[in-house]
Structure formats: C-alpha cells, structure tokens
Structure 1
Amino acid sequence: MARRSDKTVLITGLSGFTGAHLAHRLTQDGWRIAGLGGRRLDCEAEHLDADLNDTGRLAEWIGKVQPTHVIHLAALAHVTASDALSYYRVNVLGTESLLTALQDSGAALEKVVIASSANIYGNALVSPIVESSEARPMNHYAVSKLAMEALVRKWFTRFPMLVTRPFNYTGPGQSEAFVFAKIVAAFARRQDELTLGNLDVSRDLSDVRYVAEAYARMLECDAEGEFVNICSGRSVSLLEVIDEMSRIAGYRPQVRVNPAFVRADEVKELFGSPSKLYDVVGKLEVPSLHETLQSMYEWNLQAQGN
C-alpha cells in the first residue's frame, strides 16, 4: 500500500477510544498525525491540548501544522451525563470553533470528516435506518449532535466534508461506562453477578476496527457534502452478548436488572443500513460478534495481568 508521509491528518479526540484505534490504523499507511486534545500518543508528530472553543489558539496551531485532512471525533459522548449545557458547548459550539479555526488557518484541506451520531434517530419507526430517516433525538447528547449537523451544513460549500453517524460500536480499551465493555470486563473478572438495565434493547453493533477502517477510507474517497451512517447492518441484543461471552469465558454469571439503570427514554432498537457507507468507501468486512468479544476479553485479561 502506498505510503502517505506527504499527508497530515489532524484528529481531534485522538487519545480517546476511537481516536487511538484510528491512529493505529492510519500509521500503518504512513500518515503524519497531529492530535488535538488529551494526552499525547507516541504516533503524533504534532500535538495540542486546548479547549475546542479557543478558536484563536486553534487557528494559530493549525496554521503551523498545515493539515491536509481532518477527522473531528472530540465530543461529550456519554448519554447519561447530567450537565446538559456541556453537550452544546462542546458538541455544537466546539465544532463551530474548530471549523472557524480551520478556515482562519489557511490550511489547504482535501477532506474534513465530522463525527455525529446515530443517536439522532432515536426510537426509529422503520428499520433498517437510512440517512433520510426521521431524526427523533431523545436526550441532550442526541439533540446536540443534531444541532451540530444543522450548523455544519453551512460549511459544505467551504470544505470538502463528510458527516458520519456512527451506530454503537465496541472493542478493546472501551470504557466500562459503555454497556458492552462493562459486560466483557465483568466476565474477565469472573464476577458472580452482572447488574444491567434494560435487557430487551437491541443495537446495531460494530467493531471499532471496522469503524477505524471506514474513517481511513473516507479520508481519500471522492464523496463530499453527505451524511453517512457507520453501521454493521446487524442488530445484537444484550442477551446475545451475554450468551456469547458465556461460551468464551466458560461460565455464566447471574444477571440482575436494576430498575435504577433502566432509562425512561431508552432507545429500544438502532438498526442501520450500511448501503450508503459502502457506496462511499467500498464494501467493508464486518468482524463477527465472537471475534469482537474475544478480542475484548483477551485485552481485559491482559490488563488484569492474567
């Protein structure tokens, strides 16, 4: 594969779960990587830890780095966070600040990819969910992402842009604040009991490696001015995950439902269509549920020193 040392990709939120996996994927192709926010990774040629809303500082730094491509992952992401204002400050105003800084920096950009979320669809009335499906956001995180999308549209004429709507995904290193990572970690610790919320929820679940591959291909695709689902096209329930983990770990904990974990605004099912994604970046191989959970289980065992 051709090396890309002549290209620099600026990734916001690089040290987060998705960013770290994406950085690993892109370094394999020789991309020069600049990271914005959080701790510095070994792969970074340039790094800045700054508030997304510090537009002037961002513009000055971006002007020095001169990225050719951008992937904006930084966001306040957990849907149970209680400070509603923070969602809008980070996800909406922070994105506007970044785009303004990119414009002010004078960087010659070949592609800008902005991460939104499939949570904007809420409790969709029809499955599979396509990009033209009605937006029915059910929490501040989802509303902030939808507001961000509305704001980003005005930038379509200024930058060659794509906006992604990732559905649920998981993989090694994900925080236990997310339910699939919580389940795998509990099995790795061989907990006797697993306490969860709604068990009858079903999610379109991808592997983070699949998501990283999608982002990597988007950097060099021809499409722009589009909203694109990132999804696997399969729906997986929590009970299916527990069943598969029981086979992997060789035991089954008692599963208890805690009413305090049951959300009144729970999204019952998110099941997307990857058709447009494949039109944009080509067909992607979907890792099996077993492959994803096995990699997470082994990562947890290694982290525990087992």
Structure 2
Amino acid sequence: MSSADAKQPIRTLVTGASGFTGRYLVANLLGRGHTVIETMAGRNEPETPTRLRLDITSPDACRRVIETVRPDYIVHLAAISFVGHNDPLDFYRVNVIGTLNLLEACAAAGHTPRKLLIASSANVYGNVTSDAIDETFPVTPVNHYAASKAAMETMVRTWFDRLPILIVRPFNYTGRGQASNFLVPKIVEHFARREPAIELGNIDVARDFSDVRYVASAYEALLDSEAAAETVNVCTGTPYT
C-alpha cells in the first residue's frame, strides 16, 4: 500500500443522518476522522459534497447516491420511527422497500462496502413478559412500525450471502434532541412546564432505556467489528418501570 492509499479517508454514508440518532453518530464518526456523507429527505436544502438528497423510496435515487459516494461503510438509519405515524403504508414504503432499494443499489452499482449496519428495533419482539430477551426470541410485532421492521429484517437476511450486513435491534433510548412525542422528552417537558397531570399509555410495563450516546458508540463499535450476517440487540439489560 502506498502512503497516498494509507491516508485515504474512510467514507461513511449515513441515511437519516439528521435524525435523533444520526446527529450523535455522525459527530462520533467525524471525530474519528471519517468523511461522512449524510443523506437528507427534504427537497429544499442544497446539496453539498457531504450532504446529498435521497428519497429512499426511489430505486434510481438510491443508485445515484451509491454510485456517487461508493462508501466504505453504510449506516442505514432512515425510517418512519414514530409508532403513532398516521399513514400505515408509509412504514412499509420507507422501512421495507426503502431498505431493499439501498441494497439493490449496491448490487446494481457493483459496490460492496466493508459493512452495512441496518437499524431495526426491539419493537419486533412485541409484548414479551420475560425478564430478558435475547436475539433468539420469536418476533411477534404488534403494530405497523414493528411489523415493517420485522418484514425488513426478513428481507435483509436474504442478502446476508451477498453483502456484509449487520442488523441492530436497539431497545428504547433517549437523550437531548429527541422529539417530544417520545416518552422521556414528553415527561420532561410536562415537568418543565409544571403541568399538574400527564396522559401516558400503558404504565404497567418495564422498558430498557439507553442513552443515545451509548447507542451511537455501540453502532460505531459494531462497524469496526468482524461481525456480519447476524442480528444484535443494543440495550443495557436493565428494565425500568
């Protein structure tokens, strides 16, 4: 390897980079010297060499981005992630077909990155009463978000022999910058406003909560790891009521 090759920066493509998790992960990767190419869904922002527009539901748009960037790593975070989203079909268009478009774009461009990290969700396990859940637990989704992620995983596994893919299933996590329709920011905002009451969903459950910074660092470590063609839970192992 020549010294010029040795100094070649690592190019990492992050879809959903401006989302809650993406902002933390991008900061980590930049701090490690990666050249991060972020994709953005909006049509109004101008493109730059490191910020590209991407409609994940368009196969042509996905292929254009892969052919332009030819990244060393891909972290696929772009998704409809709010369980209460009002159009059920969007979950499947974005979460399932959008992910397939990205994989097919790699094949069409003849490009194999070092690793594709694809974010699923522990929501795929459904309402489990067990104290601990490992990756062998059956998948029993109970809403469209979870069902779309489970369908995405099933489809992605058919690509394990073609691309170096790792599926991650993060459990609940929170931190600064999370939208207020999620549980912890909602509670914090009510507390900050000194509201006398708050309406919540089912409170007779225990949830595993991580800090978003922990999740971002776990994704970073998994990118570096030799692990591929498998599914990994990302959680603390400690449930909170």
User: Is TM-score (shorter-chain normalized) higher than 0.5?
Assistant: yes
Summarize the Cα distance change of 1:71–1:4 in structure 2 as closer, same or farther, 3 Å threshold: farther
Moved over 6 A (4+): none
Aligned equivalent of 2:16: 13
Contact 1:124–1:134 (Cα < 8 Å) also in 2: no
Alpha-carbon separation, structure 2, partners of 1:38 and 1:191: 35
Summarize the Cα distance change of 1:184–1:45 in structure 2 as closer, same or farther, 3 Å threshold: farther
Contact 1:34–1:46 (Cα < 8 Å) also in 2: yes
Q: Counterpart amino acid of 2:30?
A: T
Alpha-carbon deviations, 1:247-279, whole Å to 9, x = none? xxxxxxxxxxxxxxxxxxxxxxxxxxxxxxxxx
Alpha-carbon separation, structure 2, partners of 1:228 and 1:64: 30
Tell me how far 1:234 sits from its aligned partner.
0.6
Alpha-carbon separation, structure 2, partners of 1:139 and 1:57: 29
Give 5+ residue unaligned stretches, structure 1.
238-306
Q: Counterpart amino acid of 1:8?
A: R
Aligned equivalent of 1:134: 138
Q: Counterpart amino acid of 1:165?
A: R
Q: Counterpart amino acid of 1:77?
A: S
Contact 1:113–1:162 (Cα < 8 Å) also in 2: yes
1:30 aligns with 2:26: no
SS of 2:50's partner is: strand
Tell me how far 1:60 sits from its aligned partner.
2.1
Alpha-carbon deviations, 1:49-92, whole Å to 9, x = none? 22112112221222121100001001111112232111111111
Aligned-residue sequence identity (percent) comes to 44
Q: Decide which structure has the larger Cα Rg and report it.
A: 1
Give 5+ residue unaligned stretches, structure 2.
1-5
Aligned equivalent of 1:174: 178
SS of 2:158's partner is: helix
Aligned equivalent of 1:119: 123
Alpha-carbon separation, structure 2, partners of 1:26 and 1:185: 30
Alpha-carbon deviations, 1:203-245, whole Å to 9, x = none? 10000000000011111100110000011101112xxxxxxxx
User: What is the TM-score when the length of structure 1 is the normalising length?
Assistant: 0.72
Deviates more, 1:50-59 or 1:11-20: 50-59
Q: Counterpart amino acid of 2:188?
A: V
Alpha-carbon separation, structure 2, partners of 1:206 and 1:4: 35
Q: Counterpart amino acid of 2:133?
A: I
SS of 1:164's partner is: strand
- Residue from 196, 199, 203 that aligns with 2:203: 199
Alpha-carbon separation, structure 1, partners of 2:91 and 2:217: 27
1:184 aligns with 2:188: yes
Aligned equivalent of 2:85: 81
Aligned equivalent of 1:227: 231
Alpha-carbon deviations, 1:120-145, whole Å to 9, x = none? 10112422000000111101111111
Contact 1:8–1:69 (Cα < 8 Å) also in 2: yes
Tell me how far 1:4 sits from its aligned partner.
8.4
Q: Counterpart amino acid of 1:65?
A: V
- Residue from 215, 220, 239 that aligns with 1:211: 215
1:68 aligns with 2:79: no
Tell me how far 1:194 sits from its aligned partner.
2.6
SS of 2:198's partner is: strand
Summarize the Cα distance change of 1:49–1:80 in structure 2 as closer, same or farther, 3 Å threshold: same
Deviates more, 1:61-70 or 1:196-205: 196-205
- How many correspondences in the alignment? 233
Q: CA RMSD in A?
A: 2.0
